[in-house]
Structure 1
Amino acid sequence: MRNIVIGSGPAGRLGSLELGKLGEDVTLIEKNHIAGTCLNEGCMVVCALTDITKFIDLNKRFNEYGFLKSQLDISYEKITQKIIETQEKLRYLNQMENESFGNNIVYGKASIDESTVKVNGESLEYDNLLIATGARPFIPEIEGNEFGLTNKDILKIDEVPESLNIIGGGIIAGEIANIYSTLGSEVNILARSTFLKELSENTKEYVLKKIIPDVNIYENTNVKQAFKNKVLTDDDQELEGVPFFATGRVPNSEIAEGIVEINPDKTIKVNEMMKTNLNNIYAAGDVTGGYMLTPVARMEGITAARNMAGYSNKVSYECIPQTLSLNTEVSFVKNEKLDLSDDEKAQIAIPGIGGPSAFWHILSGDTGYAEVDFDKNNNKIAKINSISPSSTSDVAYLSHLMRMDYDLDDYENFLEIHPSTDTTYKIIKNMWL
């Protein structure tokens, strides 16, 4: 079976790897760089910069405590240069990994019809096609939008902006605010509705007061015009700073228009097997909408690949864990199947534990925060919000228990590692059970 995968981001790369593992004939086509937005413009860039800001934050804390005297000389240009060098190494490794399964990688812009893919002047026939072309930043239609930066520009600017206006109120807006605020920018966030509505109110309050206290938040605010170094809001307020758009993403679905069914929001319509309305064409990742997260894209790509190879597989979106990469990580998960009334819900919330990467936060009283909602009638976890250096792994494992529908009594045998900053186990094991 001839399988063609278009796009080498998390969905396409993992899909092609899975097909290769299953012994299938695979051609992977990539327009730009292997590994897609995540490595080249997205979460890996954010994580790299956040590693720097965590160091800056810790250095500042140690200086304030008086046992370390140091002054940092930070070169943003050198930071971006080293990120790019690291990306090049990772691209090489990702390509080698794919080719190790016998997959053929072609670089070029593709176009498709119902039986062939055209790339670099060649026509390639396929038995199965996986479209994993991702998404790009959404740019609102406002006057002066050409002056706005996006995540695609982070590695292109030469220096930290003196001031920054981040337009958007979601996770990306929060992460960008944390980075540039720590690096010395005066940062404003302008959210059309509520900032960080994914978080509980108490978790959000902790983030604003303890993690990004210097960021100015403007909720229920629209920007009607952007300039090179300022924005104008809908109530005619002028805010100094380079505009930065964190206003969502647009699917790169143009390649499939007129070939497969497209949703009204321009995402490619797929079923739970990641199949389009045509039996031999599949789509996965951000181009299909939904959760635009790297782990979800990987899951979708693997699901599509297994079905393309004849192994029936369905995707599930229950209890998806998410994180906000700040100087202290903020992670959360919700069990969508449990829509509880106040009478059915119980909540326990406590401060974080001082441990690895949080011991020196005890003196300033900002060790983190954990909040767990329970279905008290059925003894299940309904929702978790966790702020701690270990929250990304803690919440990921707990989300697995939620997906498997474990009774919380089963958690009694869980043995944690010490020292740890995981407060969720303390809530569940010592305060709930």
Structure 2
Amino acid sequence: MTDYDLLVIGAGSGGVRAARMAATYGAKVAVVEEYRVGGTCVIRGCVPKKLYVYAARFNDMFDVASSFGWQVDARFDWSTLVANKEREITRLESGYTANLEKPGVEIIKDRAVVTGPNSIHLVGGKRDLTTRYLLIATGAHPFIPHIPGAELGITSNEAFDMEKLPHSILIEGGGYVAVEFATIFAGLGVDTTIVYRGDCILRHFDEDMRRGLEAGLTDRGIRLIYQTNVNSLTQAGNDVMAHFSDGVSAPFGAVMFATGRVSNTRGLGLETAGVELTAGGAIAVDAFSQSSCPSIYAVGDVTGRAQLTPVAIREGWYFAETVFNNNPLAVDHSLIPTAVFSDPEIGAVGLTEAEAATHGDIDVYVARFRPMINTLSTRTERMILKLITEKDGGRVLGCHILGPGAAEMAQLVAVPMGMKASKADFDRAMALHPSAAEELVTFKSPTYIYRNGEKHVG
């Protein structure tokens, strides 16, 4: 006889969903969380980030306001934003807690260490608990490069609650976090620089999206330094001096590392239960989120599969269905819409052009135009919509959008794509005018095609 049917370590999106659903199926469940309920997404990830992106976007709105007859005298107060953000995530944390307590899930505020296939030790409470099943949902944390002076830098964890905005910031990295925080800081008036070891930001995205965002960031005054690393940091008065791999050094008000995220597996005691890890330190799981130890499962960022909140939620849901509702379900990770909340914004679902070209003959449709909100102003930024299909009106393989509302459009396009919709299916949809999204259903002929792996234009 065990103390619980399910013990969940980690009260983030995946762990909360799994615990709540398992409890509704009659399981005795407890969640162990050493920090705050809600996980990275709610406390120091998606939610506060999107709120800060909204704050930063007012800068663009003020920029075009005069072309619509508005005269704006705006001033920004960082402390107000931080306080309002904290109030909102506290509200959401309360909601997450209530959703757990309603079906009877016990919340234990402590640190848990695995001591065997069916047991954990509570470090603070100094007691042991047993369980039929154990779910690891401990998420991930920002990677900090192993360089001299790294302690002088910050990560996304600290960026939301800085005492004051720095006069300038250097952000190392070229992924989601780097470009989103560059948008935030630049929009709030901070002199912003990105340094990245690659030759262009957003390595795994479609090339047109990468170059379009690159141009958009540059238009907003963000400096981009490529093929360069930060070798070390030193204190320089109130600033931080960054020493680059090309021999150049420069002072910044703050330096932020956005160099990837690492699964939270260290110190969990997983080795005591024989849980295998991947080469990157994530928990290796099968299609049903089961680890190499039959009684231990894992969902969310700790598995290193797709570090996105909706994916963790779906994995937690399917885990509960599989283990506690006798309804085995495996998450399909093959078609996941994603968004980059930068300015300009990116929304994408499906294959990139480069990926699709390796799958056979394809047609590529591209539209570039000024967003309507900019047409009365002098802003020249272009919006880009790209549809990639099998040849001759076949199945839609990818959709990539850069510009206002890109994320919302990508989410909706994911529905027909999940149903294996063809270009002909898109063509049957009536256009909604005037909208940017209408371009997706009014493409008449391909901008260019690939046949036998070769690109043909015209």
Normalising by structure 2, what TM-score? 0.87
Percent identity of paired positions between Structure 1 and Structure 2: 23
Give, in whole Å, the separation in 1 of the partners of 2:111 and 2:375: 50
Q: How does 1:38-53 map to 2 (within 5 A)?
A: 38-53=41-56
Give the gaps of 5 or more residues in structure 2: 447-458
Judged with a 3 Å threshold, the aligned counterparts in structure 2 of structure 1 residues 320 and 362 are, in CA distance, closer, same or farther, namely: farther
The answer to whether the 8 A contact 1:390-1:420 is kept is no
Is 2:294 the partner of 1:294? Answer: no
The CA deviation at 1:159 is 1.6
Residue identity matched to 1:198: H
The CA deviation at 1:342 is 9.5
Aligned to 1:209: 215
Judged with a 3 Å threshold, the aligned counterparts in structure 2 of structure 1 residues 257 and 129 are, in CA distance, closer, same or farther, namely: closer
Is 2:26 the partner of 1:23? Answer: yes
Aligned to 2:264: 252
Residue deviations 1:335-369 (CA, integer Å, cap 9, x gap): 38974249712211113575xxx534554343621
Residue identity matched to 1:98: L
Aligned to 1:238: 249
The CA deviation at 1:389 is 2.8
Judged with a 3 Å threshold, the aligned counterparts in structure 2 of structure 1 residues 338 and 226 are, in CA distance, closer, same or farther, namely: closer
Aligned to 1:111: 113
Give, in whole Å, the separation in 2 of the partners of 1:420 and 1:98: 41
Give, in whole Å, the separation in 1 of the partners of 2:129 and 2:435: 53
Give, in whole Å, the separation in 2 of the partners of 1:365 and 1:23: 58
The CA deviation at 1:413 is 4.3
SS at 1:126's partner residue?
A: strand
Q: How does 1:394-433 map to 2 (within 5 A)?
A: 394-415=409-430, 420-427=435-442
Aligned to 2:226: 219
SS at 1:117's partner residue?
A: strand
Residue identity matched to 1:246: A
Judged with a 3 Å threshold, the aligned counterparts in structure 2 of structure 1 residues 129 and 416 are, in CA distance, closer, same or farther, namely: farther
User: RMSD across aligned C-alpha pairs, in angstroms?
Assistant: 2.3
Give, in whole Å, the separation in 2 of the partners of 1:376 and 1:395: 22
Aligned to 1:83: 85
Judged with a 3 Å threshold, the aligned counterparts in structure 2 of structure 1 residues 124 and 257 are, in CA distance, closer, same or farther, namely: closer
Normalising by structure 1, what TM-score? 0.92
Q: Give the one of 344, 350, 361 matched to 2:361.
A: 344
Give, in whole Å, the separation in 2 of the partners of 1:205 and 1:405: 29
The CA deviation at 1:153 is 0.5
Give, in whole Å, the separation in 1 of the partners of 2:310 and 2:426: 25
Give the gaps of 5 or more residues in structure 1: none
The answer to whether the 8 A contact 2:426-2:441 is kept is no
Aligned residues: 427
Q: Give the one of 137, 143, 160 matched to 1:138.
A: 143
Q: Greater shift after overlay, 134-143 or 252-261?
A: 252-261
Is 2:329 the partner of 1:313? Answer: yes
Judged with a 3 Å threshold, the aligned counterparts in structure 2 of structure 1 residues 257 and 339 are, in CA distance, closer, same or farther, namely: same
Aligned to 1:390: 405
Judged with a 3 Å threshold, the aligned counterparts in structure 2 of structure 1 residues 342 and 91 are, in CA distance, closer, same or farther, namely: closer
The CA deviation at 1:393 is 2.4
Residue identity matched to 2:287: E
Residue identity matched to 1:298: I
Give, in whole Å, the separation in 1 of the partners of 2:24 and 2:178: 38
